[in-house]
Amino acid sequence: MLAQQALPAAVAGEDKAIGLPVLAASTSTMARARWSATSAGHKSLHILGTILPGAMAGRNRRCRRIRAFRCRPPLLWSAERGDVRMTELQPIRFIDGAGYEQMMGIWSRSAGEVFLDWLAPSKGLRWADIGCGNGAFTELVVERCAPAHVVGVDPSPQQLAYARQRHTAGLAEFVQGDAMALPVADQSVDAATMALVIFFVPDPAKGVAEMRRVVRPGGVVAAYAWDFTTGGFPWQLPQDEVRATGATVPWPPQAEIVRIDRLHQLWADAGLQSVASREIVVERVFPSFDEFWRVAMLTPVLGALVEALPSDALAGVKERVRAALRIEGGKVVHTGKANAVKGVVPR
Ligand X SMILES: C[S@@+](CC[C@H](N)C(=O)[O-])C[C@H]1O[C@@H](n2cnc3c(N)ncnc32)[C@H](O)[C@@H]1O
Q: Footprint of ligand X on this chain (CB under 6 A)?
A: 94, 104-105, 108, 130-133, 136-137, 154-156, 159, 178-179, 195-197, 200-201
3-class SS at 328?
Answer: strand
Kindly list the distances between the CA atom of residue 190 and the CA atoms of 235, 251, 309, in Å, as whole numbers in the listed order.
Answer: 33, 32, 49
For ligand X, the closer of residues 196 and 237 by Cβ is 196
For ligand X, the closer of residues 136 and 280 by Cβ is 136
- Which residues have a Cβ under 8 Å from the Cβ of 15 and sit 6 or more positions away? 66, 70
Distance separating alpha carbons of residues 118 and 120, to the nearest angstrom = 5
For ligand X, the closer of residues 77 and 94 by Cβ is 94
The nearest distance, CB 188 to ligand X, in angstroms, is 18
The nearest distance, CB 3 to ligand X, in angstroms, is 19
Cβ atoms within 10 Å of 117's Cβ, excluding its own? 10
The nearest distance, CB 44 to ligand X, in angstroms, is 30
* Cβ(237)–Cβ(298) below 8 Å: no
The nearest distance, CB 275 to ligand X, in angstroms, is 21
The nearest distance, CB 344 to ligand X, in angstroms, is 22
The nearest distance, CB 346 to ligand X, in angstroms, is 25
For ligand X, the closer of residues 32 and 166 by Cβ is 166
Residue nearest to ligand X (CB): 133
Q: Look up residue 246 and give its amino acid.
A: G
Nearest alpha carbon to residue 338 among 226, 193, 223, 199 = 226
The nearest distance, CB 155 to ligand X, in angstroms, is 5
Q: Look up residue 272 and give its amino acid.
A: L
Instruction: State the DSSP code for 135.
Output: S
For ligand X, the closer of residues 50 and 156 by Cβ is 156
Radius of gyration for the alpha carbons in the chain, expressed in angstroms and rounded: 21
For ligand X, the closer of residues 15 and 113 by Cβ is 113
For ligand X, the closer of residues 14 and 203 by Cβ is 203
Distance separating alpha carbons of residues 241 and 247, to the nearest angstrom = 9
* Cβ(268)–Cβ(275) below 8 Å: yes
Q: By CB neighbour count within 10 A (0-12 exposed, 13-18 middle, 19+ buried), where does 157 fall?
A: exposed
* Cβ(194)–Cβ(213) below 8 Å: no
